[in-house]
């Protein structure tokens, strides 16, 4: 092909530790698993409540049947008092058991809080020479951070560098990305050679002169909110560039994408897609 355009999505950044959407550990996949788990838990709770209602109803029916039988045989007068007394004793016993259980739960909660406070106090008063706890904590933090790095910690992958290299050698005409992680730009891909359709967490743009500033930190915000910084050229307010669901695609990047495809002519360009 004499004119090659690449479209990249979340799949190109999974090797950098950034999750995609539909993969085994994707954002939407995990969210769907959580939904199914919550649904099963809700169904289990509803089934348990239904079973308790049926049990209560069955006990009421049995009590009524017992009373009816005693009445039918003329013994209900003699045993009414005993039955009512027994019933009241059972109710008092059940109420006492419930009260005792609540007291035990409250006591256990108090013991847990006291234990947590004592552990915190012992941690604060522990000698500085013992660093095993700190080492374990640091190891845990490092493991969690390596498992799910933030955008700031993520590094460009071999794919990002390969795209940049091929673009610099003019083997690739243009790169269109849906990613907001800024890894294409971090790999050295010229801004003029790629379209960023959904914005970038590291890029803020002047609302007056449209100057872009690519930072080494997450500028924060969503849907073109002000970042609190100003443009060094015109002193205009800087805004984030990350799109929300209802936001329109950026006009300049969106118009650049189809123009690079049309410039190759029909049949003279190729698409390579890296999606999740």
Q: From CA 227, how far away is CA 204, in angstroms rounded?
A: 8
Distance (Å, rounded) from C-alpha 215 to C-alpha 204?
8
Of 273, 202, 192, 274, which Cα lies nearest the Cα of 241?
Answer: 202
Contacts of 165 (CB under 8 A, 6+ apart): none
Which listed residue (160, 198, 233, 235) is catalytic? Answer: 198
Angle at which helices 76-124 and 27-72 cross, to 10°: 150
Element (H, E) at 240: strand 237-240
Gap between the Cα atoms of 152 and 88, Å rounded = 67
Asked about 198 being catalytic, the answer comes back as yes
Q: In a 3-state reduction of DSSP, which class is residue 206?
A: strand
Residues 14, 274 contacting (CB under 8 angstroms): no
Q: Report the DSSP pairing between strands 3-8 and 194-196.
A: unpaired
- The H or E element that residue 87 is part of is helix 76-124
- Supply φ then ψ for residue 270, to 5 degrees: -130, 150
Is residue 180 within 8 Å of 201, Cβ to Cβ?
yes
**Strand locations in 17-57 (E):** none
Instruction: Report, as residue numbers or ranges, the catalytic residues.
Output: 198
């Amino acid at each position: 092909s004499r004119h090659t355009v690449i479209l990249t999505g979340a799949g190109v950044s999974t090797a950098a530790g950034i999750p995609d959407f539909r993969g085994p550990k994707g954002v939407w996949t995990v969210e769907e698993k959580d939904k199914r788990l919550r649904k099963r838990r809700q169904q289990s709770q509803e089934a348990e409540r239904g079973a308790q209602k049926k049990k209560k109803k069955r006990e009421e029916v049995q009590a009524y049947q017992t009373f009816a039988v005693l009445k039918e045989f003329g013994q209900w007068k003699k045993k009414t008092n005993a039955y009512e007394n027994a019933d009241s004793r059972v109710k008092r016993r059940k109420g006492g058991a419930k009260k005792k259980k609540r007291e035990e739960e409250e006591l256990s909660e108090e013991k847990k809080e006291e234990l947590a406070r004592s552990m915190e106090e012992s941690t604060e008063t522990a000698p500085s020479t013992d660093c095993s706890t700190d080492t374990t904590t640091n190891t845990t933090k490092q493991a969690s951070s390596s498992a799910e790095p933030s955008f700031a910690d993520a590094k460009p992958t071999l794919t990002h560098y390969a795209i940049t290299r091929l673009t610099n050698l003019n083997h690739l005409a243009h790169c269109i990305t849906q990613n907001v992680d800024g890894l294409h730009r971090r790999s050295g891909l010229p801004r003029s050679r790629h379209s960023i359709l959904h914005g970038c967490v590291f890029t803020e743009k002047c609302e007056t002169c449209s100057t872009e500033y690519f930072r080494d930190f997450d500028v924060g915000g969503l849907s073109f909110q002000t970042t609190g910084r100003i443009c060094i050229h015109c002193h205009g307010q800087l805004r984030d560039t990350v799109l929300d669901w209802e936001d329109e695609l950026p006009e300049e990047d969106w118009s650049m994408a189809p123009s690079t495809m049309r410039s190759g002519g029909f049949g003279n360009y190729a698409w390579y897609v890296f999606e999740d």
